Structure 1
């Protein structure tokens, strides 16, 4: 509160400004602009607030104690002067306010020209009044008129929002001027907005939801409010679109409607789920892996390591778009651990799902070479070049005879005639000396029972005519 005493005729405008209550002092002939919520004060040398103001100033508050002196030095008389304060400001959503006035002598208060307080009379003691006023949303003007006739002079006025939750049921306005900037490298959304105009504003809440959902989630903390006009949040890095919404909250706990929705397309750094149902089947082509499809997967990677070794895990397949893959390069008689991972369109790879399998021997021994067949009295003598495979188990001897179907059609029909040790390189097949032309083949078999089968073109069939005279039937 400023106390003003009687000033001498030499008092200056600078001395008036330095006294504390008046922020600036400007001669009446100069234009004065006071920015809300600062009051514009106009001083008159009469009690009717008429004519040209003798002094125009800007006051931060209306709280003056002039005593019995001239409030403007040489400008105003000691008695019978008046002051009009005015302020035009944005009240946001408005709501319930308390207007408090006290003065010696008269004071009147209006809101947009409508009188709210009227204590316009000459008194010898300070008179006071408090009223409840509902201020509509938007911009409004308050005028405070004061007059003193004789004796001591003082005046005070204030307006404050009523923040009682039982009284204030007016929601703040939705925040305006909102924008969002998204940093993909940091996965960081920075939301900014313009400050609300409500005098009872407590802060803001920030909400977020996926574009595929209508349910909002508060992301600005469970209880604390944002008191500034910006907020940084990291949305889930899933590649989805997210919407942000701002809501203002007043000191009575009323929350505003949501402001404009702000959209962010997040960077995708979320890997798909690991594949399930991974199995490995061993076969002649190699090890065949299968697994169940993974939601969101664009392709699959396969890694491999020989079981029981410390050799590096090697990636053996990339870009597998199906749910099966065959490792044709697996070494026979070797155990492997395979890992399958799912990869999405952003290149995020899931955890790897392992499976262990042994790739057995599925390769038949080479075709027997150098086979010769010689007809003898005791049968047919076969000789060949021994195979070199280390896992050779035996040889099997086959004989084919020509079959006549009786209707002019013929075909060679083969049957096994003997099993031989892997050390054998010759054999005499005892057969009747009937002069028949036949075919012979020797096929190698390994310890895994792999062998070439009769139709295989690699088998070397040798033709021989047995001794004797053909049976005419």
Structure 2
């Protein structure tokens, strides 16, 4: 809105940069005149120094909105504060027209005209603002609205508008069909559909519809927009013709009829469907010939089929090197050829090709298997075999020629030479990629005959190496004593370390732990908890994890060779004495140890302490109702109570110590609480935690 002030009259031409009809206005103040050009829907506003709108206006300008409050002052320079009038005029295209409301607030008089016909009439001198809303129907097309305001005496103010009524129960007038449609198809294969904006004031937007040639437009639009164009990025690239139309719709839900069809012929970038049914040509056994057949495609522009073959597995690459039919597609849905007997698996796929050169995805895969009866050309030259402390070691020269399917060498030991029949082969080495191999412990006291053979991925053997006889004496001498053994007491056990043995036949180490029994040292090997056999160590250190309770031990680390030869403590294996750290609770610490119905109390490295009941009652005959768990605190020399549990209806109980310290020994005591309110003596267990 442009509010008139007491400044001098307009002296220049003003152009509002909006679209619509242009109104040329003349303003006069005394002898001065000016021209104002107002662009619809902006109002032309004229000021008169009388109440009859007669004579030449004192001022003419443009106003975007009727909303003035001049109070008791003059509306503009050169005008009186009483007995003046102001006229607003606008001419615009209302599109399809329809129901409108004209709300007004005025002091003093206001009349509203549509194409010269009075629609609102409030025409009297008043002291308070009068309000009124009048509903009218504006026909389609271009019409003129005029608002005449008069102030006789006193304060002056006016506010007015014209608004479309958008209720679906009131507005049943459809928008006009959009005009000015155009359709383009660009190099990115997108269709741009555009049109001229509708003039309806209650326009909500546009609905774009698309249909394939030969079909009808559906009820659901392709897109809804408030713009005057839409770019279709979903248009199929299949060479078909598609039609577009646009419909305008208003806020009441009324939709116009569709525009005249605009069509586009799309580029064909759509490949045929992948052929089906070739999987049924697969054979589960070995084949000498390929017979392929598949279901024929039904595309109207089908040119034929390509056949691809590969031996490198799935998926088959669709390359010219793999294509069997050259550049000309097959015109039929079958294919035959002899199958090369190379021991490979052959994979076949089919594609369909149309007349535009579009090729489908690959079909399913048909597999055919062939036999490989030819060994590799690789040969182990200059093979030799000797026995030493490591066992029997074979060496040979790398083959001068190689097969693609070579996977390695095998070493075979025979009990007789090649010249004798009935010999028994023993495979002693396989998957050998280098040029040497050692059999660590062949049976001693006899002559063995060795051969090295190259093998392909089908298990075919190449030409064997020369035969290598070896009279195996074996070895009965144990490795020398292990040196540098140390045994260090830790809070969670005894840490052992030793020097690595340089014995060529070394296989592993064994650790003996000795304890005093009736004044004599008794040695036993550390046992593997899974196999229940002596543990075999290949490192040179080990933590013998156990509760630190001050016990004395004597350790011996023994080297064991491939034949199992080893020293004993009695035959010279060195020993190392160690006394554990003593982290046991104080002797007088409570709860005291004694009679207790808790059975099988034990702990593990996870911090779990578990037990069950060996008796349902305490020593006094009172029934067990629960348990208390205590943990020894070496800092305070007190057993802290860490858990209390009700007995419940279970057969076993446990406690998880989330605060279990690492790398030390933690002692626990468990007591039972009885129905008579008393607590039994305790049982004790310990956990030597990992570092």
Q: What TM-score do you get using the length of structure 1 for normalisation?
A: 0.65
What residue in structure 1 maps to residue 404 of structure 2? Answer: none
Q: 1:45-84: per-residue Cα shift (whole Å, max 9, x none)?
A: 221112222211111111111222221212x222222122
SS across alignment from 2:105: strand
SS across alignment from 1:31: strand
Among 357, 363, 386, the residue aligned to 1:347: 357
What residue in structure 2 maps to residue 229 of structure 1? Answer: 228
- Bigger shift: 238-247 or 83-92? 238-247
Among 42, 67, 70, the residue aligned to 1:66: 70
What residue in structure 2 maps to residue 192 of structure 1? Answer: 194
| Superposition deviation, residue 174 in structure 1 | 2.1
| Superposition deviation, residue 161 in structure 1 | 0.8
Matches within 5 A, 1:8-87: 11-13=7-9, 27-28=27-28, 29-74=33-78, 76-87=79-90
| Superposition deviation, residue 139 in structure 1 | 0.9
Q: Residue 281 and residue 155 in structure 1: after superposition, are their counterparts in 2 closer, same or farther (change >3 A)?
A: closer
What residue in structure 1 maps to residue 310 of structure 2? Answer: 305
Contact 2:67 2:159 in 1 (8 A): yes
Contact 2:209 2:217 in 1 (8 A): no
| Superposition deviation, residue 240 in structure 1 | 1.3
Contact 1:2 1:65 in 2 (8 A): no
Count of residues in correspondence between the two structures: 343
What residue in structure 2 maps to residue 128 of structure 1? Answer: 131
| Superposition deviation, residue 109 in structure 1 | 0.6
| Superposition deviation, residue 128 in structure 1 | 2.0
What residue in structure 1 maps to residue 117 of structure 2? Answer: 114
List alignment gaps of at least 5 residues for structure 1: 18-23, 361-473
Matches within 5 A, 1:314-325: 314-317=322-325, 318-324=327-333
What residue in structure 2 maps to residue 138 of structure 1? Answer: 141
CA RMSD of aligned residues (A): 3.4
Q: Distance in 2 between matches of 1:271 and 1:260?
A: 32
If asked which structure has higher relative contact order (CA below 8 Å, sep 6+), I would say: 1
| Superposition deviation, residue 314 in structure 1 | 0.6
Contact 2:290 2:339 in 1 (8 A): no
Q: What TM-score do you get using the length of structure 2 for normalisation?
A: 0.45
Q: 1:367-388: per-residue Cα shift (whole Å, max 9, x none)?
A: xxxxxxxxxxxxxxxxxxxxxx
What residue in structure 2 maps to residue 458 of structure 1? Answer: none
| Superposition deviation, residue 27 in structure 1 | 2.9
Q: Distance in 2 between matches of 1:168 and 1:78?
A: 42
List alignment gaps of at least 5 residues for structure 2: 14-23, 284-288, 372-691
Q: Residue 201 and residue 307 in structure 1: after superposition, are their counterparts in 2 closer, same or farther (change >3 A)?
A: closer
What residue in structure 2 maps to residue 254 of structure 1? Answer: 254
Q: 1:394-450: per-residue Cα shift (whole Å, max 9, x none)?
A: xxxxxxxxxxxxxxxxxxxxxxxxxxxxxxxxxxxxxxxxxxxxxxxxxxxxxxxxx
Q: Distance in 1 between matches of 2:159 and 2:282?
A: 93
| Superposition deviation, residue 141 in structure 1 | 0.7
Contact 1:82 1:146 in 2 (8 A): yes
What residue in structure 2 maps to residue 244 of structure 1? Answer: 244
Contact 1:3 1:67 in 2 (8 A): no
